């Protein structure tokens, strides 16, 4: 666990932690509630932040009035919190930062990026609200308010225990009694009723909409489609009105969507790719045997048969590949031209599928080559990625007609399983290096 330090802002001590020192600096601006001491004891939260820290120099802090920070001198508006973010940036000796704003923190992050654009590299807005309106595409008047404030504050002042549970049920519908009890305990341990009320008074009447077009940094917006607290229209409005924005809509009802670990994984891959340009550290990984095939001399055969006949061959070949992949417990991940990428749970099933695909191609009057490797893979959207995939793609390029090549690793995995192999030689695989390959007999 990282050490807790304190930054000074307007006489208040703000608790912060630097969770890692590698990668681009990512400064997390919390919502109404945060508690550095408790967050690391909540498994989905701790896991989410740990995975963020794999590819970033992650900085977290508790805003004043909450968590480990001072309770006094409460800010009353989002703008009042901008100097606190600046104080944490200075205390951590961060020249430029990517800002991650959650819930109320998203509005603070927007205001900071407008005030100090030269100090911000990226902006990430998660479950933010752009104004005090239920639907930001309409004027924030009459019944079109983010919250029925009179009822909200009356409930908070009357019975904080009941208010906390009802607030949890709005933010995390379907969470179950034990889940809501945990959220309620976290809320009570994080802020007093007075501090919580002050934080919420600070957003009554807020309207960031006229300023959004002036945000001048690359922005990623993530918003849960079923969020009842900050409706999804707010995420869509941010994406529609901030220039140079990527938008990811999450299939979740949770106001803090990474509390659902499946959604958290989706968020992490989107954030890592947005900040670094690739996904190497955060996607869920699994073991797979990766098989590539492609048709030998496809261009010549297309010219010989004609476009229509060749299209019919490719359609039949793809259908056979999908059927056979499923038969052997795998699936076709991608078909591009005359090439097929498939994944299987075991190397043995991958080889059996390759043999069947070679025979099915022969029945169509064509010849294919196949290459297989096994190892960790991960998925980003519909793409299958990982070094294992790259190796398999290079192996297939060394195979001949009707030949299945694989690596010594796969041969070792299948030792004693009845498969036979012959030595194919040492090959220089582009971007991979030298590898000893074997031929499936």
For the chain, the average pLDDT equals: 92
Kindly tell me if the per-residue pLDDT of 278 is higher than 70.
yes
**Comparing 367 with 194, which gets the higher pLDDT?**
367
The mean pLDDT value for 149-156 works out to 89
Residue pLDDT, tens place only, 135-146: 999 998 888 999
Kindly tell me if the per-residue pLDDT of 299 is higher than 90.
no
Residue 4: which pLDDT band, with cuts at 50, 70 and 90?
very high
Residue 282: which pLDDT band, with cuts at 50, 70 and 90?
low
> Residue 286 has what pLDDT?
86
**Comparing 260 with 127, which gets the higher pLDDT?**
127
> Residue 72 has what pLDDT?
65
Residue pLDDT, tens place only, 214-265: 999 999 999 999 999 999 999 999 999 999 999 999 999 999 999 987 788 8
The mean pLDDT value for 80-104 works out to 96
Asked if 352 contacts 346 with a C-beta cutoff of 8 angstroms, the reply is: no
Kindly tell me if the per-residue pLDDT of 192 is higher than 90.
no
Asked if 172 contacts 254 with a C-beta cutoff of 8 angstroms, the reply is: yes
Residue pLDDT, tens place only, 305-357: 898 999 999 999 999 999 999 999 999 999 988 899 999 999 999 999 999 99
Strands of 12-18's sheet, edge to edge? Answer: 5-9, 12-18, 57-61, 25-29, 97-102, 120-126, 219-224, 245-250
List the beta bridge partners of residue 220: 124, 246
| Exposed/middle/buried for residue 166 (C-beta within 10 Å: 0-12, 13-18, 19+) | middle
pTM for the full model?
Answer: 0.72
Kindly tell me if the per-residue pLDDT of 79 is higher than 80.
yes
Residue 74: which pLDDT band, with cuts at 50, 70 and 90?
low
Kindly tell me if the per-residue pLDDT of 76 is higher than 80.
no
CA pair distance 399, 320, nearest whole angstrom: 21
> Smallest Cα–Cα separation from 313: which of 296, 328, 326, 327?
296
CB half-sphere exposure, 437, CA atoms < 13 A? 27
Domain ranges of the chain: 5-276, 285-440
The mean pLDDT value for 127-136 works out to 96
> Residue 198 has what pLDDT?
87
φ/ψ of 25, rounded to 5, equals -70, 125
| Percent residues over pLDDT 90 in the chain | 68
> Residue 404 has what pLDDT?
97
| Percent residues over pLDDT 70 in the chain | 98
Residue 106: which pLDDT band, with cuts at 50, 70 and 90?
very high
The mean pLDDT value for 95-124 works out to 97
> Residue 316 has what pLDDT?
93
CA distances from 5 to 55, 93, 168 (A): 22, 13, 30
Kindly tell me if the per-residue pLDDT of 427 is higher than 80.
yes
Kindly tell me if the per-residue pLDDT of 73 is higher than 70.
no
Please name the residues in contact with 127: beta carbons below 8 A apart, sequence gap of 6 or more. 31, 102, 103, 106, 222, 223, 224, 227, 229, 230, 235, 255, 256, 257
> Smallest Cα–Cα separation from 395: which of 384, 387, 404?
404
> Residue 405 has what pLDDT?
97
CB atoms within 10 A of CB 75: 21
Pairing of strands 368-380, 57-61: unpaired
> Residue 123 has what pLDDT?
98
CATH no., domain 285-440: 3.30.70.1230
CA pair distance 89, 236, nearest whole angstrom: 29
Q: State which CATH number among 3.50.50.60, 3.20.20.30, 3.40.50.150, 3.40.50.1820 fits the domain covering 5-276.
A: 3.40.50.1820
């Amino acid at each position: 666990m990282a050490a807790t330090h304190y930054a000074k802002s307007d006489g208040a001590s703000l608790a912060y932690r630097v969770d890692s020192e590698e990668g681009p600096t990512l400064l997390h601006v919390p919502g109404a509630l945060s508690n550095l001491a408790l967050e690391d004891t909540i498994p989905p939260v701790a896991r989410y932040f740990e995975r963020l820290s794999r590819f970033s120099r992650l900085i977290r802090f508790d805003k004043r009035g909450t968590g480990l920070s001072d309770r006094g001198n409460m800010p009353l508006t989002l703008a009042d919190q901008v100097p606190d973010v600046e104080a944490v940036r200075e205390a951590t000796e961060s020249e430029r930062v990517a800002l991650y704003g959650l819930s109320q923190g998203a509005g603070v992050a927007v205001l900071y990026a407008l005030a100090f654009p030269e100090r911000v590299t990226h902006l990430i807005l998660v479950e933010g609200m752009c104004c005090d309106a239920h639907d930001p595409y309409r004027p924030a008047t009459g019944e079109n308010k983010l919250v029925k404030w009179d009822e909200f504050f009356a409930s908070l002042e009357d019975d904080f225990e009941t208010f906390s549970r009802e607030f949890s049920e709005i933010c995390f519908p379907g969470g179950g009694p034990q889940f809501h009890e945990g959220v309620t305990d976290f809320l009570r341990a994080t802020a007093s009723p007075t501090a919580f009320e002050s934080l919420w008074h600070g957003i009554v009447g807020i309207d960031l909409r006229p300023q959004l077009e002036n945000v001048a940094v690359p922005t990623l917006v993530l918003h849960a489609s079923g969020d009842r607290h900050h409706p999804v229209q707010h995420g869509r409005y941010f994406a529609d009105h901030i220039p140079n924005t990527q938008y990811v809509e999450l299939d979740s009802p949770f106001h803090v969507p990474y509390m659902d670990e499946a959604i958290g994984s989706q968020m992490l891959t989107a954030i890592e790719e947005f900040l670094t340009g690739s996904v190497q550290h955060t996607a869920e990984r699994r073991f797979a045997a990766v098989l590539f095939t492609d048709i030998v001399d496809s261009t010549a055969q297309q010219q010989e048969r004609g476009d229509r006949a060749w299209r019919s061959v490719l359609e039949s070949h793809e259908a056979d590949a999908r059927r056979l992949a499923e038969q052997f417990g795998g699936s076709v991940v991608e078909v591009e031209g005359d090439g097929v990428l498939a994944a299987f749970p075991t190397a043995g099933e991958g080889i059996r599928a390759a043999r069947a695909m070679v025979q099915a191609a022969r029945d169509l009057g064509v010849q294919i080559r196949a290459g297989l490797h096994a190892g960790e893979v991960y998925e980003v959207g519909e793409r299958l990625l990982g070094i294992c995939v790259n190796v398999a793609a290079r192996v297939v390029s060394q195979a001949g007609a009707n030949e299945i090549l694989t690596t010594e690793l796969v041969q070792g995995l299948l030792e004693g399983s009845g498969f036979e192999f012959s030595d194919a030689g040492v090959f220089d695989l582009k971007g991979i290096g030298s590898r000893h390959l074997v031929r499936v007999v």
